[in-house]
């Protein structure tokens, strides 16, 4: 709850700062001189409501969507030794990390992967793929589970949701400002909105969304190093390094679908500009970071 309040307060402060800067530099006056009747304060608030609203709805539904879209089968009554071991390992790691026991599940995928999701640290979901269980030994799976438990303990799902809400806010706000200015100043629309507003707003939103995605993915890559370190603490550095090396043996790693891509143990490989949109850093960098820790 404190994390949510802090982000909301930070975003509110940024909105206020932007409003003050616009007033100090006379941006509103310049718009008025050019006949641009735009209430920036109201637009900022509306953008924040839309930006955070979508992000929070997605976060609130994340567990439900994961179970449905990924076909996660929850382990409620263990049917074999592997499922019992998974429950026991997650329970031990959750206790060490100081969080409530997450739901534990398995989803059918040949790719070795795992993810954690949920709106609250004490009510999360940790799921592993059948490919992970088939291609990794117990020590490596233990490290992967520790990595995912660390994501939950660090509040990464909430943090990512809040960050997405912040960037959504400013993408919506700036795209509408650009569309409004072009419509009023360039095309001289006097009442309502002309086609220029909608076309320009859409183009600006697409461009700004691309830039925003780069920011969100940069943060996603940074938190992977922290989760690796957490996985090493909950298992061992040797086990965590072994798990990452095991993932390297998968020559064609794939992102998890949709919003779950950022929460998998690994992601796709990117080259050139594509690297800026990767949710995970290269495995060799993650291994090097673990090995360099004192």
Q: Residue 51 has which token pair? A: 């930006």
Q: Return the C-alpha torsion angle 219, 220, 221, 225, nearest 10.
A: 100
Cα–Cα–Cα angle for 198, 204, 210, rounded to 5 degrees: 135
Name all contacts of 187-195 with Cβ < 8 Å and 24+ positions apart.
Answer: 188/35, 190/35
Task: Provide the CA 277 distance to its chain's centre, in angstroms.
Answer: 12
Q: Residue 119 has which token pair? A: 């709106």
Please pick, among 103, 148, 224, 259, the residue that the annotation labels catalytic.
148
User: Any catalytic annotation for residue 284?
Assistant: no
Q: How far apart are CA 256 and CA 271, in angstroms?
A: 18
Cα–Cα–Cα angle for 113, 291, 129, rounded to 5 degrees: 10
> For the stretch 121-148, what's the b/e string if a residue is b when 16 or more beta carbons lie within 10 angstroms of its beta carbon?
beebbbbbbebbbebbeebbbbbbbbbb
> For 104, phi and psi rounded to 5 degrees?
-120, 135
Quick count: other Cβ atoms within 10 Å of Cβ 19?
A: 16
Please list the residues that pair with 105 across neighbouring strands: 74, 127
Residues with catalytic function? 148
């Amino acid at each position: 709850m404190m994390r949510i309040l802090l982000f909301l307060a930070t975003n509110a402060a940024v909105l206020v700062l932007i409003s003050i800067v616009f007033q100090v530099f006379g941006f509103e006056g310049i718009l008025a001189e050019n006949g641009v009747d735009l209430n920036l304060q109201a637009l900022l608030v509306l953008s924040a409501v839309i930006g955070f609203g979508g992000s929070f709805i997605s976060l609130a539904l994340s567990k439900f969507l994961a179970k449905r879209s990924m076909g996660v089968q929850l382990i409620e009554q263990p049917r074999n030794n592997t499922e019992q071991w998974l429950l026991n390992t997650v329970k031990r790691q959750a206790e060490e990390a100081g969080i409530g026991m997450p739901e534990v599940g398995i989803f059918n995928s040949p790719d070795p992967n795992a993810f954690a999701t949920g709106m609250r640290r004490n009510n999360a979901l940790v799921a592993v793929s059948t490919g992970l269980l088939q291609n990794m030994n117990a020590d490596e799976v233990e490290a992967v589970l520790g990595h995912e438990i660390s994501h939950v303990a660090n509040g990464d799902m909430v943090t990512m949701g809040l960050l997405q809400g912040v960037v959504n806010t400013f993408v919506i706000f700036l795209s509408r400002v650009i569309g409004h200015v072009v419509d009023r100043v360039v095309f001289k629309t006097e009442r309502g909105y002309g086609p220029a507003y909608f076309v320009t707003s859409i183009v600006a939103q697409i461009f700004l969304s691309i830039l925003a995605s780069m920011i969100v993915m940069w943060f996603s890559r940074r938190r992977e190093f922290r989760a690796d370190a957490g996985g090493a603490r909950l298992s061992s550095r040797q086990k965590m390094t072994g798990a990452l090396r095991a993932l390297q043996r998968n020559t064609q790693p794939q992102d998890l679908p949709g919003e779950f891509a950022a929460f998998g143990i690994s992601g796709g490989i990117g080259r050139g500009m594509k690297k800026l949109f990767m949710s995970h850093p290269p495995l060799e960098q993650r291994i090097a970071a673990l090995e360099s820790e004192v």
